[in-house]
Homo-oligomer: A and B are copies of this chain.
């Protein structure tokens, strides 16, 4: 059972490890690269996973893009903070799955929103709070492109002013001053639910730790940092890349508990 390249579908064109592009297939269009060109018309109907020859003689494979391909190169972006290395861990820490209802505050370009939406679909929902309207627009465009927008409710609203939902299963706060949102988010989460914070500086983490202790409604506080090394995949010459991403941010985890005297 083969599947073939269709008009209007998204395609990952792969020439080599540094030459990968995501394109939307459209009749009449021409794909161009430093390795040669190819007409979209000549791709349509070809089997996914097969290769074509570019005008300059190089071979190009026609593949279905994964979500991670968009994260690495496909999405329009206005910022980039979270990387796949962090996203995977955060997904596990949030403990979510199909059907979960999740709060995300600070959605940036929607990268993590897409990962969350993919994890909770089809019956779950991501409530995405973002104060900067232009970010929300970019994020929505990105989500639409990968067909995940209907699992997300984007709100142009400051989470510090209050969260409208209740009994949420998890919350992710990617914002510079999450300590000011502790009360609002605590109210919106169901008891025992995990909360994850993403913070670029150690100074912010230190401050958050003080404020969490003071606030009292979150326990099991943990602080993580992930490092990802990519290797050059050359047989007989295996070695890490010379340059790597040394830091994106710290990941802080906690769980909601009932505050003394509340119910």
Residues in A lying within 8 Å of B, measured CB to CB: 1-3, 12, 14, 17, 20, 47-51, 61-64, 66-68, 71, 84-85, 87-93, 95, 97-98, 115, 118-119, 121-122, 166-167, 190-192, 194, 200-206, 209-210, 213, 219-248, 250, 252, 255-258, 263
Contact = CB atoms under 8 A, between A and B. Distances in A.
Contacts of A239: 200-203, 247
Please provide the 4 A-B residue pairs with the shortest distance between their CB atoms, ordered closest to farther: A88-B88, A49-B191, A244-B246, A66-B95
Given A88-B92, A246-B246, 18 more contacts: A17-B220, A48-B190, A49-B190, A63-B255, A68-B92, A68-B95, A71-B92, A88-B89, A97-B121, A98-B98, A98-B121, A203-B235, A206-B235, A206-B236, A209-B238, A225-B228, A225-B240, A244-B244
A194 B237 CA distance: 24
A223 B241 CA distance: 10
Nearest to A205: B238
Main secondary structure of the interface of A (DSSP, over half): mixed
A256 B49 contact: yes
Give the number of times this chain occurs in the complex, counting copies: 4
Given A191-B3, A191-B49, A227 B229 contact: yes
Given A122-B98, A258-B49, A235 B220 contact: no
B190 A209 contact: no
